Amino acid sequence: MPEQYADLHLHTTCSDGLMRPEDIGALAAQAGIATIAITDHDTICGIDRAIAARGNSTAEVIPGVELSAVIDETEVHILGYFIDWHEATFTERMGQLRRGRLERAKKILLRLKELGVDLPLESVLEIAGEGVIGRPHIADGLIRGGFVSSYDEAFDRYIGQGAPAYIPKQLLHPAEAIRLISSVGGIPVLAHPGTLKEEGFIRQLILWGLKGIEAVHPVHTQRMIDYYKTLAKTHGLLYTGGSDFHGEGRRFNSIGKQKVPSQVVRDLKSLIQHNNG
């Protein structure tokens, strides 16, 4: 039997992706992917829909999330796999994060208006649709409004870090993100460590309960992939990987371009079984 593969980092219209949760499993199957994880930013609204649509594809769906956190002014993303996304305290915390993102968007739009760029909140909400609002939606609004000509220009000129309309997110502490995922039976994994400016706190994340490292990611070279796999093994962690798929027109737009063997999924499931005793 040929080797099967998994893509464990996918975004949908429920955050800043461009593909509906109902459609992403079928696309993954067409790309030869046997298992996917829905890991939208700070929201779990797409999981039920992706699972319900599984009859249209052959891809198994792992319930997941990507939580944004910050430590020492460094933004850290923590992936959570096999979470109990219906748990009441967890869903309430996700609701708080959603409301926080909306308030941030309002502040960004106010600052844009002060700069002479009048982008109505209603326009951005229409673009975001059901999704948790974020800067990519504001960037799309700037493009549609004729204020910029590209996604990169929107960030460089207005809303990227250091740009005049940038407003930092009110983020979780990494320890809380790890604890939150663990509290609902999930496996917390450090996302795309190669994007971090400082790796020294990975050991601290492990002390807080980190269980894995995303070694395979589009921003990682083969040398980096090998390094993070070794780092994970050295510390008794799992390694994971995926395409960070967002959809056509986004930076990472090829589902299954970065993938991992299905053994990685089996390792995740084994850890879940071990944790459940």
What's 122's domain CATH number?
1.10.150
Query: Structurally, how many domains does the chain consist of?
Result: 2
Residues 64 and 175 in one domain: yes
Most confident of the ranges 14-23, 92-101, 109-118, 247-256: 109-118
User: Would the pLDDT of 126 be above 90?
Assistant: yes
pLDDT in tens, 175-190: 999 999 999 999 999 9
Per-residue pLDDT, 121: 97
Cβ contacts of residue 25 below 8 Å, gap of 6+? 36, 50, 53, 54, 56, 57, 59, 61
pLDDT band at 18 (very low <50, low <70, confident <90, very high): confident
Average per-residue pLDDT for the chain: 93
Q: Are 69 and 169 in contact (CB under 8 A)?
A: no
Helices 174-183 and 88-114 cross at an angle (nearest 10°) of 140
Is 181 part of any domain? yes
Residues 175 and 80 in one domain: yes
Per-residue pLDDT, 50: 94
Is 102 part of any domain? yes
> Using CA of residue 227, residue 251, residue 245, residue 1, what is the dihedral sign?
negative
Q: How far is CA 61 from the centre of its chain?
A: 15
Closest CA to 97 of 178, 16, 177, 8: 177
The three-state secondary structure class of 54 is helix
When pLDDT is averaged across residues 234-252 and rounded to a whole number, the result is 88
Residues 108 and 41 in one domain: no
pTM of the model: 0.91
Residues 175 and 64 in one domain: yes
- Amino acid symbol at 87: E
> Which of these three, 159, 192, 211, is where a domain ends?
159
When pLDDT is averaged across residues 77-94 and rounded to a whole number, the result is 97
pLDDT band at 249 (very low <50, low <70, confident <90, very high): low
When pLDDT is averaged across residues 81-103 and rounded to a whole number, the result is 95
Residues 23 and 76 in one domain: yes
When pLDDT is averaged across residues 69-96 and rounded to a whole number, the result is 94
List, edge to edge, every strand of the sheet that includes 260-261: 238-241, 212-216, 187-190, 74-81, 60-71, 33-38, 5-10, 260-261
Residues 41 and 132 in one domain: no
Residues 200 and 252 in one domain: yes
Per-residue pLDDT, 199: 65
pLDDT band at 56 (very low <50, low <70, confident <90, very high): low
Q: Locate the DSSP E strands across the chain.
A: 5-10, 33-38, 60-71, 74-81, 187-190, 212-216, 238-241, 260-261
How many C-beta atoms surround the C-beta of residue 149 within 10 A? 10
Per-residue pLDDT, 57: 66
Range of the domain at 145: 94-159
- Amino acid symbol at 198: E
Per-residue pLDDT, 247: 85
Residues 11 and 82 in one domain: yes
Residues 79 and 175 in one domain: yes
User: Would the pLDDT of 171 be above 80?
Assistant: yes
Per-residue pLDDT, 1: 62
Cβ contacts of residue 59 below 8 Å, gap of 6+? 25, 26, 28, 29, 33, 34, 35, 36
Cβ contacts of residue 32 below 8 Å, gap of 6+? 5, 256
How many C-beta atoms surround the C-beta of residue 23 within 10 A? 16
Is 164 part of any domain? no
Residues 70 and 101 in one domain: no
Q: What is the CATH number of the domain that holds 68?
A: 3.20.20.140
Closest CA to 8 of 64, 85, 67: 64
pLDDT band at 205 (very low <50, low <70, confident <90, very high): very high
Residues 131 and 212 in one domain: no
Is 250 part of any domain? yes
User: Would the pLDDT of 120 be above 70?
Assistant: yes
Per-residue pLDDT, 11: 95
User: Would the pLDDT of 248 be above 80?
Assistant: no
Is 165 part of any domain? no
